[in-house]
Every structure is written in structure tokens, then in C-alpha cells.
Amino acid sequence: MKAEIVSTGTELLLGKSCNEDARILCEVLARCGIDVYRYTTVGDNVKRIAEAYSEALDRVDIVLSTGGLGGTEDDLSKQAASLATSIPLEKNEEIESFLRNKKVKSERIVRSFSSIPKGALLFENTVGVAPGIVVPVKGKYLILLPGPPEELKSILKSGLEKFLRKLGGAYILSKVIRIHGLRESDVEDKIHDLTLFSNPTVATFLKKGWIEISITAKAKDKASAIEMISKIESEITKRFSKDVIGKSEATLEESLYHIFKRRGLTISVAESITGGMIASRLVNVAGISSVFMGGVVSYSNDSKVKILGVTKDTIKFHGAVSEKCAIEMAIGVRRIFRTDVSIATTGIAGPTGGTEEKPIGTVWFALTYKDDAIAWKRVYAGNRNEIRKTASEEALDALIRRIAK
């Protein structure tokens, strides 16, 4: 079975939102043994959406559309589906009754939500109002889904993933093992015999600071896929017993814990822009107290000076968002907690405070280890929380890469 994803929403084309739905669906379709050929993004225009549906249905067996299932005027997916398939919309009494019970007073919203393509199958949305809608089209399927990722996940859990798995007829599962301290060529040499298998397949990928060994199995069900992967995983783990820093289910902070624990290193953090995000992620890991000694959230300039020892001249002549300030923060927190390694973040999260020289999204990082103190700058796009979250990811990733060297 072949599939395409059509994501609707002008906000996606303007870069105001990231396409999280497409990522979720790609993962699910892979698990179900369905190949994704492409995904397309279309703005809020019923004619263009209908054209995207028609073109995709000509190419593949399953078209999944995200967005455009609410009760507002720019929610056009059902209209476009009717136009593309020539299947009329009709009132669904089950949905209408559900909305009445929910005390939805707007007749326009009730009418919009309860109008679906004739003969469509419905999958429950336990988080929102709009259900998942599967429209059979001459032996193919057009599947309409709401845009909010949590609603999409809810519909998949309510039976849509099971429905897709029956169409795909297989279960595909992947697992990643992260290796550090070796060159990709060395890793490939050690697992060359395993890469010759056709199922499961084994491949290597070069990442920042580590090598990923990906194991992918295709089987009749999840249990069989897990069994197939487990045998290869055990063999790889045996061959790289001292080099594994994490697996696909491991978060960055868990991978950091494993590599710091193995090397007997301790860490402290000084956070301004990230406001405790790095420390919060670290303390989610069981046993982290043997590695993470503590952190300081020094949000104000005064706290940077009084607690971390940043000099007043640094604040005056370079500013709190600067290379010099970040380095002094990292040195200060390492001195306080007497750790082997430290990292610091300082920046401008917005929505105000940016300048031409230091725009919103500017973040300075500093990392100290042994006698080294390095600093680097990034400028991120996104809203306040997205910038802070991305900065915390960068900090954890940098720590792993630095120690893995």
C-alpha cells in the first residue's frame, strides 16, 4: 500500500506552525507497513485542497489529510473532499446528537461538524470534537483528520492505526543504538555481516558526536518485529559493550547520563534564558544525582553578578547576552558546585528586547571542561517557549558531543 499526506493550513505555508502532524503520521504509516511517497502542504483554499486530493488519489491507495475539520469558515477539508470525489455531504445524526449533548449552541457549528461525506467511516476523537473521517473512494481511501496533534493521536489510538495496519498488512518497527568514540567506518566494519541481512535491515548514520545504528524489522505483528530486532540488538550491544550511550527510546538527557556516568564526570548548569529547563530535564533521569550536582537560574543581571561572579564590567560593556557573560556564568557555576563540566545559557527569548545586533532568538552558550572554556552563538526562530526549548536541546546535545570527543 502507498500513501500520501496532504496538510492543509495557510499558517503552515507562512511558517507560523511546524508540521508535527506529518511527522506523527509518517511514523504510524511506517509501523503499519505502508510506504509514504510524499506529503504536500496546501493553504486554506477549497479548490486547491480538492486538486491536491484528486492528484494524490490518482497516485496512491491512501491519502491522509490533516487540518480543516473545525466549525469555522476556513475549515474546508470536507468541502474539498466532496468536490474531489463527487461524494455529497450529508448530515450525521450521531455527531449532531453528540454536539447537542455537549451543549454546543451555535447552529452553524453544529451543521458544519455534523456534515460529512456520504458513506464515510468515523473514528472517535476523545480530546476534541471533530472525529477522524475515512472516505472510501473506488477501492482507495481519503482520510480526513483534525490539525491539533493531540487530537490526531487520540483518533489513531481510537482505532485508526489498527485500521491502517489491516490495510498495510504488516508491522514495521525500528530501533536505534547510539555509539560514541568510534569512526563510522570502524562501526561499519564491526557490523558488516549484519548489514547483509534483508530483514531486519541494519544501517549506520553519522550524527553530531555519535554514530547511530538503525535496526528495522518488518513482521506480521509487533511482537514478532520486537523478537526479530532483539536478536540483532543483543549482538550489536555485545560487540560495542563499552561504546553504547543510548538507544532509540533514550532521551538526550538519558544519553548524557550514561556517558557521564561511564566516564565518572559531574556537571553543573547556569541558566538564564532556559530558566531551569536543562536542570529540569536532567532530574527526570533516575540516578542523575551521581552526575548532576546542581544548577543556578540567574535570570537578572544582579544575580549573575552576585551569585555566579560575572563582573559588572562584563554586563556594562558586553551585556548579559554575550560570549564573555556566558563564559563567566559557566566558570562561576562550576566553581560553586566543584564539577568537572559546566554549561551556561543566556539569550533573548522575546517577544520584545531584540536589537539589530542581538535579534530575538539570540542565545549564547558556554561550556567548560578541564582547562577549556568554549562559547558559541545561535539565533533561533519561533516563539518564546520554542526558543527556550531549542536552546535546552542544543545545550544537552553539545555536552554529549564534547564529552564523546
Model confidence over 10-27: pLDDT tens digits?
Answer: 888 888 778 899 999 998
pLDDT tens-digit series, residues 90-99: 988 888 887 7
Which is it for strands 132-137 and 140-145: parallel, antiparallel or unpaired?
A: antiparallel
Residues written for the chain: 405
pLDDT tens-digit series, residues 340-377: 999 999 999 999 999 999 999 999 999 999 999 999 99
pLDDT tens-digit series, residues 85-126: 999 999 888 888 877 776 666 777 777 778 889 999 999 988
> Could you count the other beta carbons within 10 Å of the beta carbon of residue 246?
23
Classified by CATH at the fold level, domain 171-247 comes out as Alpha-Beta Plaits (3.30.70)
Enumerate the CATH 3.40.980.10 domain ranges in the chain, comma separated: 2-168
In this predicted structure, the answer to whether residue 218 has a pLDDT above a threshold of 90 is no
Average pLDDT, the chain: 90
pLDDT level of residue 285 (50, 70, 90 thresholds): very high
Enumerate the CATH 3.30.70.2860 domain ranges in the chain, comma separated: 171-247
In this predicted structure, the answer to whether residue 246 has a pLDDT above a threshold of 60 is yes
Between 72-76, 252-256, 386-390, 397-401, the lowest mean confidence (pLDDT) is in 72-76
pLDDT tens-digit series, residues 316-337: 999 999 999 999 999 999 999 9
pLDDT level of residue 6 (50, 70, 90 thresholds): very high
pLDDT tens-digit series, residues 182-215: 888 999 999 999 999 999 999 998 875 678 899 9
d(CA 345, CA 270): 7
In this predicted structure, the answer to whether residue 378 has a pLDDT above a threshold of 60 is yes
d(CA 259, CA 337): 20
- Contact predicate 5/39, CB 8 Å: yes
Which residue type does 274 have? T
Distances (CA, A) of 241 to 238, 248, 276, 390: 5, 17, 33, 31
d(CA 392, CA 277): 6
- Contact predicate 93/169, CB 8 Å: no
- Contact predicate 229/223, CB 8 Å: no
CATH architecture for residues 2-168: 3-Layer(aba) Sandwich (3.40)
pLDDT tens-digit series, residues 42-79: 998 999 999 999 999 999 999 999 988 765 555 689 99
In this predicted structure, what is the pLDDT of residue 323?
98
> Options 3.40.50.2300, 3.90.950.20, 3.40.50.970, 3.40.50.720; which CATH number does 252-404 get?
3.90.950.20
Strand partners, 289: none
In this predicted structure, what is the pLDDT of residue 206?
85
In this predicted structure, what is the pLDDT of residue 73?
52
Q: Please, which residues have CB within 8 angstroms of residue 267's CB and are 6 or more apart in sequence?
A: 256, 260, 282, 291, 292, 293, 339, 340, 341, 342, 343, 399
Cell numbers at residue 314, please? Answer: 562584563
d(CA 165, CA 153): 15
Cell numbers at residue 333, please? Answer: 557555576
In this predicted structure, what is the pLDDT of residue 281?
96
Between 141-150, 163-172, 228-237, 262-271, the lowest mean confidence (pLDDT) is in 163-172
Percent of the chain whose pLDDT exceeds 90: 66
